């Protein structure tokens, strides 16, 4: 999905070159805002466990994750990021972090919990602001 987003972005980059930093900022801010919102949302009660590996919830989460990746790829096109390097890096990091997450899941959730998602959202927001400021100043 980042590659598809990047390809879509490369086709429209000439039309929006004058305000591409605003587009990149907006896309990253949206993804960041979603992450922050999810991190501060109240958790479901433990007696109503939800299995995210089945059914409509799995499909919904897959689509949401794909849209996020597409938005990041679109941002990469506006920032002239080398997608041949970025896409495998995203895949490798996602694989490693997912594997570590499965191994350490229960232990880490007691220590970190929703704070990890908030930290990720803040990091993306800082990147978005840096992009905007580098073009404005």
Range of the domain at 83: 2-41+52-136
Average pLDDT over residues 64-87: 84
Higher-pLDDT residue of 73, 113: 73
CA distance 30 to 82: 22
> Residue 126's pLDDT is what?
92
Distance CA 77, CA 101 (A): 30
DSSP designation for 49:
-
Q: Do the domain assignments include residue 47?
A: no
| Nearest alpha carbon to residue 31 among 88, 82, 73, 77 | 73
The tokens of 55 are what? 């059914």
In a domain, 57, yes or no: yes
Residues 6 or more apart whose Cβ sits within 8 Å of residue 9: 73, 74, 75, 76, 77, 78
pLDDT of 115 over the 90 cut: no
Tokens of 91: 């895949």
Q: What is the pLDDT of residue 44?
A: 58
* Mean pLDDT to the nearest integer, 93-121: 79
Distance CA 100, CA 108 (A): 10
Q: Would the pTM count as exceeding 0.75?
A: no
Provide the domain count of the chain. Answer: 1
Report pLDDT digits (tens) over 4-50: 888 888 887 777 767 778 888 888 888 888 888 888 887 655 555 55
Band (61; pLDDT cuts 50, 70, 90): low
Q: How do residues 79-101 score in pLDDT, each as one tens digit? A: 889 999 999 999 999 899 888 87
Residue 108 has pLDDT above 60, yes or no: yes
The answer to whether residue 46 is domain-embedded is no
Does an H or E element contain 32, and which?
helix 20-40
- The reply to whether 31 falls in a domain is yes
């Amino acid at each position: 999905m980042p590659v598809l987003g990047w390809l879509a972005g490369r086709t429209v980059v000439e039309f929006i070159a004058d305000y591409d930093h605003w587009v990149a900022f907006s896309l990253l801010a949206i993804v960041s805002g979603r992450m922050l919102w999810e991190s501060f949302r109240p958790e479901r009660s433990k007696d109503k466990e939800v299995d995210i590996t089945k059914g409509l919830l799995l499909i919904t989460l897959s689509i949401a994750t794909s849209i996020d990746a597409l938005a990041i790829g679109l941002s990469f096109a506006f920032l002239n990021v080398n997608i041949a390097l970025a896409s495998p890096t995203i895949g490798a990091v996602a694989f490693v972090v997912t594997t570590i997450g499965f191994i350490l899941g229960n232990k880490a959730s007691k220590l970190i919990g929703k704070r990890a998602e908030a930290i990720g959202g803040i990091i993306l927001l800082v990147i978005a602001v840096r992009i905007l400021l580098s073009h404005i100043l």
